[in-house]
């Protein structure tokens, strides 16, 4: 049996993911080792869905991805100085 790759339109896939996130849904995204489960971290109902899907206690932390170090202050009350030092080293 011959397998052929589907043509994937990145722009269409990205728009579909954004629509799902805005609607409070979940997405899967590839990382360097596993698939991640993603949602809009600012939407409490979406976050509840991640906890439910993972069957994870809600007192355990989840990873939140941000687009820049500047966003940390937007979401975190007290960002340790060490966090910025680590970001500088990684960049």
The pLDDT of residue 9 is 83
pLDDT digits (tens, 9 = 90+) for 2-60: 544 565 688 899 999 999 999 999 999 998 999 999 999 999 999 999 999 999 999 99
Q: Enumerate the domain spans of the chain.
A: 1-59, 61-91
> Would you say 72 and 78 are in contact if contact means Cβ atoms under 8 Å apart?
no
39: exposed, middle or buried (Cβ count in 10 Å: 0-12, 13-18, 19+): buried
Identify the pLDDT of residue 75.
84
Q: How confident is the model at residue 1 (pLDDT cuts 50, 70, 90)?
A: very low
pLDDT at 3: 47
Residue 84 makes CB contacts below 8 A (sequence gap 6+) with 69, 72
Compute the distance between CA of residue 12 and CA of residue 63 in angstroms, rounded to an integer: 26
Mean pLDDT comparison of 51-60, 67-76, 79-88, highest-scoring range: 51-60
pLDDT of residue 45: 98
């Amino acid at each position: 049996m011959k397998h052929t790759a589907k043509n994937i339109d990145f722009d269409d896939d990205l728009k579909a993911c954004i629509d799902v996130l805005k609607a409070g849904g979940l997405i899967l995204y590839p990382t360097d080792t596993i698939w991640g489960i993603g949602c809009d971290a600012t939407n409490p109902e979406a976050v509840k869905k991640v906890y439910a899907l993972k069957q994870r206690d809600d007192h355990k932390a989840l990873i939140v991805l941000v687009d820049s170090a500047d966003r940390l202050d937007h979401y975190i009350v007290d960002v340790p100085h060490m966090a910025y030092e680590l970001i500088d080293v990684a960049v």
